[in-house]
Amino acid sequence: MQFNRMLAGAAIGGLILAGASVSPTHAAGAACSVERLQGAYVFDGRGTNVHYGVFSFDGSGRFSGKQTSIRQTSPARETLQGTYTINADCTGAMIMDGQPGGTAHWDIFVSSDGKKGRMIRTDAGIHGVRTFEQ
């Protein structure tokens, strides 16, 4: 244990001598917010149906997108839109409007760098999960 502390101290000292710096924001792990999701993210999902598509997050709490879904046996191309929130701990929620069957509610979990996320549907009696990444 003592050796590991000495090794870590030497590594940090070496970085300081070499002129490297660690920004306080990255060192402390910056808090998440809606700005963490911006741009296009591809996704896939499974549950009662199968979905593949793209979300476009605006960085201020709204998203749009497109997906191809297989419901029963017929593929369908669908347009997505809605809102999202992200909490400081990188958890949040999405509300998807315009889906067949009505509005869909999701809990979301975003990586600290905002590049990847996972979703689980929270509507009673409907199961689904999705993974998205930039």
Domain with CATH 2.40.128.20 in the chain: 34-133
Please tell me the predicted confidence (pLDDT) of residue 23: 34
Report pLDDT digits (tens) over 43-89.
Answer: 999 988 899 999 999 999 999 999 999 987 789 999 999 999 999 99
Taken as a whole, the chain contains a residue count of 134
The per-residue pLDDT for 27 is 37
Instruction: Please give the CATH topology (third level) of the domain spanning 34-133.
Output: Lipocalin (2.40.128)
pTM confidence score: 0.74
Quick check: 40 pLDDT over 60? yes
Q: What is the DSSP letter of 14?
A: H
pLDDT, tens digit, for every residue of 7-33?
A: 444 444 444 444 443 333 333 456 899
| Beta-carbon count within 10 A of 83 CB | 14
